[in-house]
């Protein structure tokens, strides 16, 4: 396997989720993601704890990232765990084979939903109480008229039944 394929994968994961990243250094989070996406971290032979320990072991003291050389060192540490019973060289090749040409997978990324739940909540025909008065039959909002009690400006008290009858008796 050519190193360029592995380096390409390294750069893609190093830049994942970080627009300012150059792709030369990888954070622990992205290192962990790469190993998970490529199937190196399987949760049994290699756990996230193992990955974090190895990451902290190979990185420069005080640094928060690893470069490609440190990444290769980390792979040498982990390959024996992942492929027990293989020689270190074979195990390393097997790990590299898992990573060749890989890209960050967007597994578990939330997608916006247009599920029926939204339709159900925005169906004005099902509104009750004071909310239903805010929309006309077509479901279009009435604007301010649907929200506020409009004053009639007649000068009579709201509940007065005999409005407009004063002049008729005199």
Average pLDDT, integer, range 91-99: 85
Predicted local distance difference test score (pLDDT) of residue 39: 85
Per-residue model confidence (pLDDT) at position 6: 84
**pLDDT tens readout for residues 32-61:** 988 888 888 888 888 999 999 999 999 999
Distance between CA atoms of residues 54 and 66, nearest Å:
11
Query: Do the strands 26-27 and 65-66 form a parallel or antiparallel pair, or are they unpaired?
Result: antiparallel
**Residue 47 near residue 35 (C-beta atoms within 8 A):** no
**Higher per-residue confidence, 73 vs 160:** 73
Instruction: Please report which residue ranges of the chain form alpha helices under DSSP H.
Output: 3-15, 28-37, 48-58, 68-82, 88-99, 116-122, 129-132, 144-147, 166-169
* pLDDT at position 51: 92
pLDDT at 81: 87
Q: Is pLDDT larger for residue 3 or for residue 53?
A: 53
Give the pLDDT score at 53: 93
Q: Do residues 78 and 52 lie in contact, with contact meaning Cβ atoms separated by under 8 Å? A: no
């Amino acid at each position: 396997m050519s190193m360029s394929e592995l380096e390409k994968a390294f750069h893609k994961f190093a830049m994942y989720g970080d627009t300012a990243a150059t792709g030369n250094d990888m954070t622990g989070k992205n290192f962990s993601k790469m190993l998970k996406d490529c199937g190196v971290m399987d949760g049994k032979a290699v756990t996230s704890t193992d990955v974090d320990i190895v990451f902290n072991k190979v990185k420069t003291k005080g640094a928060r990232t690893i470069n490609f050389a440190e990444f290769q060192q980390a792979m040498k540490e982990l390959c024996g765990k992942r492929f027990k019973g293989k020689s270190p060289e074979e195990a390393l090749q097997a790990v590299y084979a898992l990573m060749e040409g890989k890209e960050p997978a967007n597994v578990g990324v939330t997608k916006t939903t247009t599920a029926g739940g939204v339709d159900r909540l925005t169906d004005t025909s099902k509104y009750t109480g004071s909310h239903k008065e805010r929309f006309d039959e077509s479901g279009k909002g009435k604007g301010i008229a649907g929200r506020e009690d409009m004053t009639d400006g007649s000068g009579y008290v709201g509940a007065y039944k005999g409005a407009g009858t004063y002049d008729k008796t005199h």
